Structure formats: structure tokens, C-alpha cells
């Protein structure tokens, strides 16, 4: 297997994070091999929610049509007290910044089947299921995996030890990551630990459930989660109480007793039930040399924000464009040093928010629950903070070292009109760095060397107008103009992962913005010369 051949990237783990990264790199033509210890996909549900940002990633992977039958737009996320009074409402059905509702509910086995089919359709991606990693070593130019086939069903023999070399290795192999262990990277335990029984079932045809669409029942007698598991499925989650054993909670009779207010064996089919320990952990670093971590191998969080899988896919999305620039020789390996300081603070903020939400839900003491209810019902509890952006890494910074203006925030996405056709911005211009502007052409504010740098980086310049003026695209949705005017901006540089590198209120600031981006990327030698016509004047004449 591969022997002396050096792959571009080897991925350990073939859950949604490993699958996504394999697809992203494979679509760019890189030689990728994936190694998964299990011989088939995990058949049971786990994650059930992804947000608008992840949906946009899936669309860019060409999966929108395939996702329609196995997912549904989210409804309003409600938290109730024991008496079913609303404590909190989070409108996950509202229009998001990414062109569509804030969130979606889906069936994970169906999603993994879609990702699996896509990955295996790519000629440059080799998926090896039933292979465990036994060790990792590194030299200057590559990392080496020691892998061995696991016994097939009914067999006892294991495969021969094989060595696989790749320029980079990504450990996306879950909470018990062999990659993290081989690297000697420590976990930081952030203190949250609760056992919950997770139950997935399929209501019988025609059965209508008298249950909130998405809800947390913050009942101290039994904190309970109720949520769709994708079209045709439902999930309940029940917290283990202090006086219960794990064995008692997993007993089948106990499962149906807990479900009895809503469903019975006569009205639904049980898909699975299992007790999970909800934890909050984060790895100290996510890179050692040519090996990096992603997904649950790098971080764990309670599920109350629905961000576990989403966060892992953000890791893959972030890594994919960094690896692309390094593998193409545009940037030095140093670009990967920005992965941990960029992703870790955002993940830490998400974990902290998930833990705080968990502390609200996981209250089994009646007196403490009454105090909590009084605080929420009186309006004394402040609303949840906005979803965190990026505070470090490749974002334009002010003199105080913090992101300048819109830097580090997720960019807007909407519909534009191009050459007489209305379409999403992403469908029109694809993935990559984008220089989005209103008003005058920002390229005119740059010198030849700066334009040559943008050309080498593959930046696409997209000028937008409200009426489709000559040399521009029409901002059909109006989102871009509303955002730019509210922020006092004329142009923004958007990274390939949809996050804003930085913006300018006047085109005279463009030169400084571009120079800072160039320094931040750590370009390889010979970066000054443009090698392609990648700075596009879109919409025909511009």
C-alpha cells in the first residue's frame, strides 16, 4: 500500500469530518488516502443538527440536492420549565447570514452515506476501511503511518503491517484519537460531565406527536431534550439522575417508561438507545510538525448548541484552504501554524457557551430549578451572545492586536444577478479569496506588485451594484449593500472559508490591507510574480 509513494494528505478517521476533508482535498485534485478502523460506516444516529455555515460548505461541495431528502429546516428552539412555561426561545428558523434558515435537522447515517459516495467517486481519494493506525513518525519531508488491516467478520487474522507516507497527516479519529495519543498532546478538561440516555426512534406512519418540535424540558425531575432526527425520525435525550445507575437507565423497560408521555411501542419503532457522557475538553495544540488534529480528536463539547459536528467540519473547511496553499507551493508550511490559534479560541467560546447552556438544562435540584426559572421569567438573564468569530490567526488586526472592524466575522452570502441570471454568489464565483466591493474598482488603488500578489493568490474581484450598472453584478438580495453601509465599508477581502480577512472604509486603505495579508500568509519564495490571470474582473467587462 503506497510503499515509497508520498501522498499529499493521509486522513485518519472516516466520520463526517474525515469524509468532508477528503472530499474538499479530492475535489482540488490532491492525492488523499483515508484510514478508518471500522470496516463499514457507523449505522446509528449521532449528530442531528447543522447550522447555516455548514450548509453553505455542503453546497460548495455539490451536495445540496442530495441533502434535501434527508434534512429539514429547523424550527424555533424552545426551553421550558417543568410547567411548560417558555424560559428561552432561539429562532433557528430565521433567515441567516448565509442565505437560508439558521439551522437544519438531519439523519447522520444518511448524511454519512452521501459523503461516503461523494468521497469514493473522486479518483484522487482512496478510502481504506478496516485499517487501524499503530504508530506515527515524522521526518523533514513527510509523516509516516504504520497501518494494519483489522480482522474481517468471522476471521481472526490481521493484515500485514504497512507504511504510508504523506506530506501531511490529519487525525480526525474521534475523542479516543490514536493520532492525538501518538503525538503526546494533552487534553484540557473544562469541567462539564453529565450522563445522558440518547434515544432515537421512528414514529409509525400517520402518528402525530404532541411534542415541541425542538425543545429542552428543564424539568428537575428529569431534564429532557426533544428534537427531530431528520425527516421521519425523532430523538429524546434524558439526563441520568444522581440516584440512577447506568444499567438502570439503559434497561429497555426504563426507556419506554421515559418515552411513555409521548410515544409507546405501538406508535413508534425504537432505532437505538445508548448512554453518552457529555464532556467538555480541548486539546492543548492541534499541530505537531506535519500532523494536525480535527473534530472530536481536538475538542469535545456538550450538545446543547448543536455544534459538535459543525465545529469539526469548520476545522476541515479551514484546513482545506490552508493545505491547498501550502501544497501548491504558494505559502510556506508556516501557514499551518495559524490553524490552532485561529480555531481554538472560537471552539473554546463555543464550548463555554455550550457548557453554560448545559448548566441551565442539567438542574435536578427543585429549589435551584425554581431560582433559575424565576431569573429567566423575570427577564434578568441576558440573551445569548452572538456566535463567536475569529479573534486570532489570519485576520486583519488593529494596533491593539484585536481584529479590525469586520475582520474575523462570517461574511454575508446572498443572491446576485450575473449576465441576466439570478444565482447565489457562491454558485457564480466558487470558492477562494474574494475582494468584494461597492463603488469604484478597488484594484485601481493598488500598484502592480500588489495586483500581482492577488493574482498569484487567485483573488477574484467582484464589484456589486444595486442596479446592475456596467462592469458590476447586481446585488439582488441587497445583503451586501446593507452590510457594507452599516459597517461603513467600500470593500472587504473574504477568505476561502467565508470569514472576512479585513475591510476598508476608503479605497486609500486598500494598499495597507493587501500588504498585511501578504505578510500574514507567509508566502513561499518567488511570490512576487503572477503566474495566472486569477484576479478576475467579473461580469464581463470589469
Domains within the chain, CATH numbers bracketed: 6-69+106-185+280-354 (3.50.50.60), 415-537 (3.40.30)
Greatest alpha-carbon pair distance for the chain in Å reads 74
How far is Cα 475 from Cα 471, in angstroms, rounded to an integer? 13
In the numeric block, the cell 414514529 is attached to 203
Closest CA to 173 of 292, 314, 31: 292
Would the pLDDT of 1 be above 70?
no
How far is Cα 53 from Cα 135, in angstroms, rounded to an integer? 35
pLDDT tens per residue across span 228-279: 999 999 999 999 999 999 999 999 999 999 999 999 999 999 999 999 999 9
pLDDT tens per residue across span 55-96: 999 999 999 999 999 999 999 999 999 999 999 999 999 999
Residue 205, H or E segment: none
What is the predicted pLDDT for the residue at 158?
Answer: 79
- What is the distance between the terminal CA atoms of the chain, rounded to a whole angstrom? 49
Would the pLDDT of 506 be above 80?
yes
C-alpha cell at 404: 479590525
What is the predicted pLDDT for the residue at 468?
Answer: 87
Mean pLDDT calculated for residue range 402-416: 96
Q: Is 194 helix (H, G, I), strand (E, B) or coil?
A: strand
Would the pLDDT of 192 be above 50?
yes
Would the pLDDT of 521 be above 80?
yes
How far is Cα 274 from Cα 500, in angstroms, rounded to an integer? 41
Would the pLDDT of 513 be above 70?
yes
Would the pLDDT of 425 be above 50?
yes
Q: Are 136 and 291 in contact (CB under 8 A)?
A: yes
Cα dihedral value 288, 15, 97, 425, nearest 10 = 90
What is the predicted pLDDT for the residue at 413?
Answer: 97
Would the pLDDT of 2 be above 70?
no
List phi, psi (to 5°) of 338.
-80, -10
- Is residue 526 very low, low, confident or very high in pLDDT (cuts 50, 70, 90)? low
Q: Are 271 and 259 in contact (CB under 8 A)?
A: no
How far is Cα 328 from Cα 479, in angstroms, rounded to an integer? 34
Percent residues over pLDDT 90 in the chain: 90
Would the pLDDT of 36 be above 50?
yes
pLDDT tens per residue across span 119-157: 999 999 999 999 999 999 999 999 999 999 998 876 767
Q: Are 333 and 390 in contact (CB under 8 A)?
A: no
Q: Is 118 helix (H, G, I), strand (E, B) or coil?
A: helix
Percent residues over pLDDT 70 in the chain: 96
Cα dihedral value 235, 240, 245, 248, nearest 10 = -40
Would the pLDDT of 39 be above 60?
yes
Q: Is 50 helix (H, G, I), strand (E, B) or coil?
A: strand
Mean pLDDT calculated for residue range 369-397: 94
Residues linked to residue 416 through DSSP beta bridges, in sequence order? 423
- Is residue 538 very low, low, confident or very high in pLDDT (cuts 50, 70, 90)? very low
The pTM of this model reads: 0.94
Amino acid at each position: 500500500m503506497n510503499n515509497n509513494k508520498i501522498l499529499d494528505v493521509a486522513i485518519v478517521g472516516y466520520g463526517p469530518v474525515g469524509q468532508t476533508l477528503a472530499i474538499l482535498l479530492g475535489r482540488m485534485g490532491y492525492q488523499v488516502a483515508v484510514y478508518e478502523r471500522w470496516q463499514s460506516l457507523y449505522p446509528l444516529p449521532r449528530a442531528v443538527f447543522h447550522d447555516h455555515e455548514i450548509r453553505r460548505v455542503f453546497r460548495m461541495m455539490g451536495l445540496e440536492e442530495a441533502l434535501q431528502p434527508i434534512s429539514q429546516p429547523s424550527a424555533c428552539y424552545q426551553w421550558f420549565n417543568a410547567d411548560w412555561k417558555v424560559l428561552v426561545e432561539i429562532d433557528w428558523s430565521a433567515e441567516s447570514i448565509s442565505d437560508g434558515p439558521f439551522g437544519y435537522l438531519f439523519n447522520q447515517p444518511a448524511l454519512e452515506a452521501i459523503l461516503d459516495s461523494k468521497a469514493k467517486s473522486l479518483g484522487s481519494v482512496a478510502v481504506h476501511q478496516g485499517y487501524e493506525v499503530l504508530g506515527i513518525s515524522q521526518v523533514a519531508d513527510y509523516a509516516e503511518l504504520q497501518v494494519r488491516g483489522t480482522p474481517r467478520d468471522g476471521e481472526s487474522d490481521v493484515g500485514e503491517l504497512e507504511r504510508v507516507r504523506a506530506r501531511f497527516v490529519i487525525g480526525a479519529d474521534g475523542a479516543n484519537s490514536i493520532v492525538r495519543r501518538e503525538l503526546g498532546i494533552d487534553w484540557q478538561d473544562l469541567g462539564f460531565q453529565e450522563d445522558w440516555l440518547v434515544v432515537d426512534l421512528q414514529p409509525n406512519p400517520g402518528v402525530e406527536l404532541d411534542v415541541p418540535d425542538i425543545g429542552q424540558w428543564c424539568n428537575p425531575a428529569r431534564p429532557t431534550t426533544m428534537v427531530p432526527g431528520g425527516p421521519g425520525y425523532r430523538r429524546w435525550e434524558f439526563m441520568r439522575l444522581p440516584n440512577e445507575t447506568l444499567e438502570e437507565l439503559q434497561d429497555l423497560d426504563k426507556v419506554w417508561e421515559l418515552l411513555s408521555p409521548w410515544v409507546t411501542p405501538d406508535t413508534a419503532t425504537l432505532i437505538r438507545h445508548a448512554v453518552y457522557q457529555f464532556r467538555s475538553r480541548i486539546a492543548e495544540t492541534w499541530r505537531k510538525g506535519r500532523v494536525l488534529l480535527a473534530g472530536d480528536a481536538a475538542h469535545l463539547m456538550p450538545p446543547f448548541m448543536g455544534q459538535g459536528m459543525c465545529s469539526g467540519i469548520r476545522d476541515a473547511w479551514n484546513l482545506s484552504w490552508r493545505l491547498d496553499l501550502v501544497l501548491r507551493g504558494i505559502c510556506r508550511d508556516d501557514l499551518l501554524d495559524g490553524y490552532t490559534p485561529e480555531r481554538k479560541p472560537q471552539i473554546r467560546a463555543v464550548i463555554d457557551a455550550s457548557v453554560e447552556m448545559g448548566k441551565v438544562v442539567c438542574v435536578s435540584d427543585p429549589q435551584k430549578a425554581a431560582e433559575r426559572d424565576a431569573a429567566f421569567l423575570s427577564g434578568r438573564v441576558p440573551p445569548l451572545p452572538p456566535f463567536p468569530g475569529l479573534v486570532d490567526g489570519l485576520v486583519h488586526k488593529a494596533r491593539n492586536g484585536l481584529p479590525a472592524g469586520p475582520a474575523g466575522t462570517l461574511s454575508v452570502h446572498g443572491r446576485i444577478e450575473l449576465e441576466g441570471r439570478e444565482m447565489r454568489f457562491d454558485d457564480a464565483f466558487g470558492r477562494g479569496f474574494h475582494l468584494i466591493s461597492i463603488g469604484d474598482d478597488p484594484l485601481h488603488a493598488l500598484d502592480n506588485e500588489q495586483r500581482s500578489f492577488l493574482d498569484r493568490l487567485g483573488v477574484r474581484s467582484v464589484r456589486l451594484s444595486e442596479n446592475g450598472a456596467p462592469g458590476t453584478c447586481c446585488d439582488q438580495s441587497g445583503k451586501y449593500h446593507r452590510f457594507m453601509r452599516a459597517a461603513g465599508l467600500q470593500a472587504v477581502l473574504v477568505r476561502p472559508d467565508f470569514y472576512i480577512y479585513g475591510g476598508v472604509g476608503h479605497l486609500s486603505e486598500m494598499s495597507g490591507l493587501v500588504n498585511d495579508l501578504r505578510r500574514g500568509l507567509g508566502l513561499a519564495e518567488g511570490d512576487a510574480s503572477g503566474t495566472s490571470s486569477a484576479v478576475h474582473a467579473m461580469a464581463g467587462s470589469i
